[in-house]
Amino acid sequence: MTRILLTRHGHVDGIHPARFRGRADLPLTDRGLAQADALAARIRARWKPVAVYTSSLQRCVVTGARVAKVCGIPSSVHEGMGDIDYGAWQMRTHDEVGKEAPDAYRLWRRAPHLMRFPGGESLQDVVARTANALRLVLDRHSGETVVLVGHDSVNRALLLQLLDQPLSAYWKLAQDPCSLNEVEILADGDVRVGFINDTSHLDQLDRR
């Protein structure tokens, strides 16, 4: 059995109010760093991962490095984990885009699988990239536990593939900063999901 611990990077500026962050290389905030440390502590306490793979953007690299450090394992970048390219919408707020391009924004919210961002990617592009990362993990780490550190869009795309769900279900999955998803791939190829978008390790931070 291969276990994938799929997580999202910690908090960055641009989450609230929501912006199309995409390929913008944003640093973790102090809150995001604390979230990454709490995530790392939880993973170390319960599992024995052998490797961490992250997006090339620093918010994922730093989150993954904190996990790797406490677990004493290597962390490396896989380009397939990179965030979706929002093209002309990058770093625009959702409110701005909704007002300037209402039809396109409505399509993104109601039928995301039919959307291609102007000058950017589609969800199908993200699926192709993340599938490469998934294949690498399954080929290189059969029977082991691996941590993947991605983005909201990337994690949704991966989970939809693992759950054998259509891209039209994209908005049905939530992925909060430093949330954790546990997915087991059995020897016969069956997939078993332990939990999705679990943030219980962040509870103490939220009470501060």
Q: 63: which 2 tokens? A: 């989150």
The C-alpha atoms of residue 149 and residue 17 are separated, in whole angstroms, by 23
Over the chain (208 residues), the average pLDDT of each successive run of 10 is: 97 92 97 98 98 98 98 97 97 96 98 98 97 94 97 97 96 97 94 97 80
The pLDDT score that the predictor gives to residue 204 is 84
The pLDDT score that the predictor gives to residue 76 is 97
Torsion on CA atoms 125, 126, 127, 128, rounded to nearest 10: 50
The pLDDT score that the predictor gives to residue 20 is 97
The C-alpha atoms of residue 132 and residue 166 are separated, in whole angstroms, by 18
CA distances from 152 to 2, 54, 93 (A): 23, 13, 16
CA 55-71-77 angle, to 5 degrees, is 15
